[in-house]
Structure 1
Amino acid sequence: MSTAASSTGSFIHLPIRGLLEIRGKDASKFLQGLITNHMPRIENGGPGFLAAFLNPKGRVMYDVFIHPTNTSNKDGDPTYLIECDARGLPELHKHIARFVLRSKIKMVGVSESFDVYSVLDENPSTISSGDADHDRAAVMERLGSMNASIGMLDNRADNHMGYRVVVPKGQPLTLPESYKQGTLEEYHVRRIINGVPEGIDDFIAGTSLPLEYNLDYMHGVDFRKGCYVGQELTIRTYHKGIIRKRIMPVQYYKPDEPVPEAIQFNKNTSHVIPPQSELFPVKTDESSQPAASSSSPRPVRASGKTGSNVGNIGLALVKLEDAANGRIFNVMDREGATVRVKTFFPAWWPQQGLEEGASPEL
């Protein structure tokens, strides 16, 4: 595994992320019973990982990163930082608190004490992921070179999302002078083009299924771990191998424009599409058909829903069969105008994901 920094890259401050600290003797055991990933992987420190909190019906409540702080409190108990969409932090705190009971843990919001960064090497091919001890040590060595001890290799899209780094508020990262400070827009463009859902605009609390939102592809679910809240449906879906919908990148364009052949962000074009807007298929023999509305006598059934978006690109949950067949959709923007929608399969998806598009069976 090569983790050395490339000669150039970028770093992006993420003030949109919130942090909840959980510490105490039972912290690891407590979280193990609530999340989709396997706490023993990080209970002895090292880099963090992606995970999700589910409800008892197996729906995602919150997508999170869990970072060991790699320090112990005065009693020697483990301490973790749970990173999530800052807008959802109060509700996540309440959700976790429901399960505390007699567990010896303490929780406190610490968003004001830390800064979260995304660091991307210009040559991401030098980054690979793995669980071996020497790989984890290499990640920690790379974090140390950035003046950080908390973070992880962000392998949600294999080697396309760089590093997640958490440092005390105001502490600068140590990076080569050639690394430029990027913008939040650049961060969202990167994750959307790579089909990476994140936060409450993509994961609608209590409705999103983990595998439909690619948590399996993004290394956020451990299918070998023991019981946790929401496990039954997740495991059953995985073993049945039937996943008919997945969230993926889409590009928005006007009805009179040509269908895009490859997804491409255009900062000069913006379509404001509210999250959870419904997608309606365009009939092949009626390419000018407008999106269905509540006033239609026989409304067409929606075939998907939008997630987060920036400019002319976004994420949407769609039927894999429709995406594989090149189906075009209509959606209403915030002004009520009809906008076309074209889906794209992320290049980093495993082969089984591409095959799902041809057949619902894994």
Structure 2
Amino acid sequence: MPSATYAHLTDRSLIKVAGDEATHFLQNLVTSDIDNLGQLGAASAALLTPQGKILFDFLIYKFDDVYYVDAPSAVATDLLKRLTFYRLRAKVDLEAVDAEIGVFAVWGNGKAADKGLLSVNDPRLEALGQRVVGQIDQLSQTLDGVAADLSAYDAHRIAHGVPEGLKDYDYSDIFPHDADLDQLNGVSFTKGCYVGQEVVSRVQHRGTARKRFVKVESSSALFDKGTDLTAAGKNVGTLGSTAVGQNGSVGLALIRLDKVAQAKDNGNPLLCGDVEVDVILPDWAKFTWPETSAAD
């Protein structure tokens, strides 16, 4: 049986959230249900603009009575400032975690068990594996399996159709439904209010999410993030991150479901730049192609 694969996620940083009101603070701020996090050990979440767009996306872990926010390093300082802005007089302590503490991903066969400070299943999708937090030097030597790099993890993530902020989309540009956060356990529709909640709830209850991240595959190399996807000369989406697949290239793209469905019905090829691509719904997706008419 092949062994597990693990990688130090060198592009991730941690923010510590502690204090008597830490749970209440996060519960009223982010998209996921923090009250249930103690049962699961981890949550996928986002902090939104008042208009409901994703300002930051991240994972949250709970260890004892302390929360750890696992966010892209490129925006960790900005996220800490934003959380501090919202703290007001709440009894909450916020601080960046020492750089010697890192985040590892473990996927494939086997588990990281109780290695490191904490070890949890990735809350977005079981197939993504585990997230392990601990001393970087120690985990690099004690994790079981085959060591890989960040690009290997990204290829694993892309193959399972899971988008991430900065890698696949820019912040303040798209809504949680666009990024599939509602499908990947990143949004609670049963808890109370949080920043941007009204807009997200409206999209959910009206069923008006027309844009979604999906997988794209091609036998040829794909272009850079931001390249347009077109059909019959019209824009139908935008490419996110890409990786080398088993039979060519695989990537993620934010598409208009209705426009791509129409192109498929009309027999129009889908192009990324000048490269033809197949567009595939992830196997975990609960959304489907909308019904269209080829005569439209």
State the shift of 1:186 in Å.
2.0
% identical aligned pairs: 29
Distance, in Å, in 2 between the alignment partners of 1:8 and 1:146 is: 17
Q: Give the corresponding residue for 2:250.
A: 313
> Would the aligned equivalents of 2:236 and 2:260 in 1 still touch at CA under 8 Å?
no
Superposed CA offset, 1:248-290 (max 9, x none): 1112455xxxxxxxxxxxxxxx4441x2332221x2xxxxxxx
Give 1 or 2 for the bigger CA radius of gyration. 1
1:13 aligns with 2:8: yes
Structure 2 counterpart of 1:315, one-letter code? L
- 1:225 matched to which residue of 2? 191
Counterpart mapping for 1:281-320 below 5 A: 281=231, 283=232, 301-311=234-244, 312-320=249-257
* Structure 1 segment 156-175 matched on structure 2, within 5 A: 156-157=124-125, 159-172=126-139, 174-175=142-143
Please give the alpha-carbon distance, in whole angstroms, between the structure 2 residues aligned to 1:174 and 1:182. Answer: 14
Indicate conservation of the 8 Å contact 1:154/1:164, yes or no: yes
* Residue of structure 2 in register with 1:358 after alignment: 290
2:81 is equivalent to residue 94 of structure 1: yes
Query: Which segments of 5 or more consecutive residues in structure 1 lack a partner in the other structure?
Result: 1-5, 71-77, 124-141, 255-269, 284-299, 333-337
SS at match of 1:220: coil
Task: Please state which structure has a larger fraction of its residues in strand.
Answer: 2
Q: Which residue of 1 aligns with 2:100?
A: 113
Residue 276 in structure 1 maps to residue 242 in structure 2: no
Q: Residues of 1 paired with 2:123 and 2:192: CA distance?
A: 23
Asked whether the 8 Å contact 1:250–1:313 carries over to 2, the reply is: yes
The Cα RMSD (Å) is: 2.4
Q: Contact 2:52/2:198 (CA < 8 Å) preserved in 1?
A: yes
Contact 1:150–1:166 at 8 Å: present in 2 too?
yes
How much does 1:359 deviate?
A: 3.7
Q: Secondary structure of the equivalent of 1:222?
A: coil
Per-residue CA deviation, residues 149-183 of structure 1 (Å, 9 max, x unaligned), is: 423211423x311111111232227555xx21123
Query: 1:122 matched to which residue of 2?
Result: 109
From 32, 41, 44, the equivalent of 2:27 is 32
User: For residue 308 of structure 1, what is the amino acid of its counterpart?
Assistant: S
2:34–2:43 Cα contact (<8 Å) kept: no
C-alpha distance after superposition, 1:328-348 (max 9, x if no partner): 33344xxxxx33333111122
Is 1:347 the counterpart of 2:279? The answer is no
- Taking a change above 3 Å as real, the CA distance of residues 146 and 8 of structure 1, as seen in their structure-2 partners, is farther
CA shift in 2, pair 1:111/1:341, >3 Å? farther
Q: How does 1:320-339 map to 2 (within 5 A)?
A: 320-324=257-261, 326=264, 328-332=269-273, 338-339=274-275
Matching residue of 2:208: 242
Structure 2 unpaired stretches of 5+ = none
SS at the partner of 2:138? coil
**Residue-by-residue CA offset, 1:57-95 (whole Å, 9 max, x unaligned):** 01111110011132xxxxxxx321110111121221222
* Cα distance in 1, alignment partners of residues 172 and 73 from structure 2: 18
Are 1:57 and 2:51 an aligned pair? yes
